[in-house]
Amino acid sequence: MSTLPSQPGIRRRRRADPSFWLLAGLASLILAFLYLPVVVLIVFSFNDNIVTTLPLKGFTWHWYQAMLANEDMLAAIGNSLYVATVATALTLVIGVPAAFAIDRADFPGKTAFRRLVMLPLTLPGIITGISMLNMFRMLGFNLSLETVIMGHGTALIAIVVTQVYARLQRFDRRLEEASGDLGGKPWQTFLMVTLPNIRSAVIGSGLLAFTLSFDEIPVTFFLTGRDNTLPMYIYSTLRRGITPEINAIGTIIVVVSLGLIFLSISLLRDPQRRPASAKPG
């Protein structure tokens, strides 16, 4: 009777292969290239020197205190949070029903609709921004944070539609049929059966839309009015050079982003799923 090799045995064999170490070294170099600038940013946010240069002079919290005392930066952060939150809600409110329509309904122009939904995501941000700027001027709208929200929602709705639609394609419709056979109303079936099964796609696409909206520059540049978002504020201050306050707010954004990622992973983890190594009793 043949037996399958154990996982430790497979790992040892892989590590004995020279190509394994070559790929591991290449992956390490790529990761260092991607994340070393982030590490530099974090280090210089604690450097007791107004000039971002070596050698380091000492550890300080001064630049975080200066950031918290900067009213313009705090206002920009508040504006970015407002825009990203409302734009994400807008993409979910429109994107989830749109994904259901594509998956469940047959209507004239369905193929064209699917392609048009993807168009803002594939177009460069500058094209989307100029197009929406012309539309708002034609309609007589004043540029404000609300026009930025509509621009972000238009540009990012494709993320929600594609992610939720892909999850619906893998969803077992028999679960909904069973709920209906047991007397469940459509709204009960959606809340108790369908939504829990597509929850990961909804939350994941929402987090991605929030992150992209918070960092968006091209669309924001054309649609913002007198109120600056954080990326626009940083962009305007960079003309005078990188300041330690910019490093401080960048560090906070990195930490918060990592926290949101780990939070989403813990929320999406199935508590009833057994480890792969568990054996049936």
Over residues 155-202, the pLDDT tens digits come to 888 888 888 888 888 887 788 778 877 787 877 888 888 888 888 888
CA 147/CA 181 separation, integer angstroms: 46
Side-chain-side CA neighbours of residue 69 (13 Å): 6
**Res 57 pLDDT > 50:** yes
CA 237/CA 243 separation, integer angstroms: 8
Give me the pLDDT at residue 281, please: 42
Residue 280's pLDDT band, with cuts at 50, 70 and 90, is very low
Q: Domain locations in the chain?
A: 25-63, 70-263
Give me the pLDDT at residue 8, please: 58
Residue type, 64: Y
CA 72/CA 75 separation, integer angstroms: 5
Contact 54, 249 (CB under 8 A): no
| Three-state DSSP state, 280 | coil
Residue in 197, 176, 202 with CA at minimum distance from that of residue 188:
176
Give me the pLDDT at residue 87, please: 94
Q: Stretch 196-221: mean pLDDT, rounded?
A: 86
CA 43/CA 61 separation, integer angstroms: 12
At the top level of CATH, the class of 70-263 is mainly alpha
**Res 264 pLDDT > 80:** no
CA 136/CA 133 separation, integer angstroms: 5
